[in-house]
Amino acid sequence: MSFATVKLRQPTDGDGHALHQLVARCQPLDTNSVYCNLLQCTDFADTAIAAENADGNLVGFISGYRPPARQDTLFVWQVAVDSSMRGQGLALRMLLALTARVAAQGVRFIETTISPDNAASQALFLKAFNQLGISHSTSVLFSSQRHFAGLHEDEVLYRAGPLPLDSKQ
């Protein structure tokens, strides 16, 4: 499937089950319940983006939310790209499009957590921050020992911004 034929759009309630299946195919992403995925596609649709191929199949998705105490921030929860679309820049295209959309709604900062062994996610976000011309900082948000009983790596918070007022990509 060609990158050019992928349509980016806001998710709908019809995407919940397809999102659940996409995340299950994108190991090692953590799967959530179908119900959670439905909420990501409805209640959090303003802070999410779906990528659909020419056949109408969901091939990419970014879910995020605006933390209640930091309404000027988009927290990116999960990035999923189908194996058929990897290596074509779809994740970056989705992230930049979502950033432009939420910036128009008053978002000034982007946050996400990435485990230290996830080089692909680190590269994605660093490339996006570079293209947006914004600086970032990192700190451990969730500690392996304190929050995961040593069964999961630290989750490092990446915080970047402020977004330029004209962050249309």
Question: How does pLDDT run across 2-18, given as a tens digit for each residue?
Answer: 556 899 999 999 999 99
CA atoms within 13 A on the CB side of 112: 23
Which pLDDT belongs to residue 141?
83
Pairing verdict, β 49-52 and 109-114:
unpaired
Helices marked H in 52-103: 90-103
Q: Which two structure tokens, joined as six digits, stand for 59?
A: 């091939």
Per mean pLDDT, which range of 121-125, 129-133, 162-166 is the poorest? 162-166
Query: Which position has the token pair 């409805």?
Result: 42
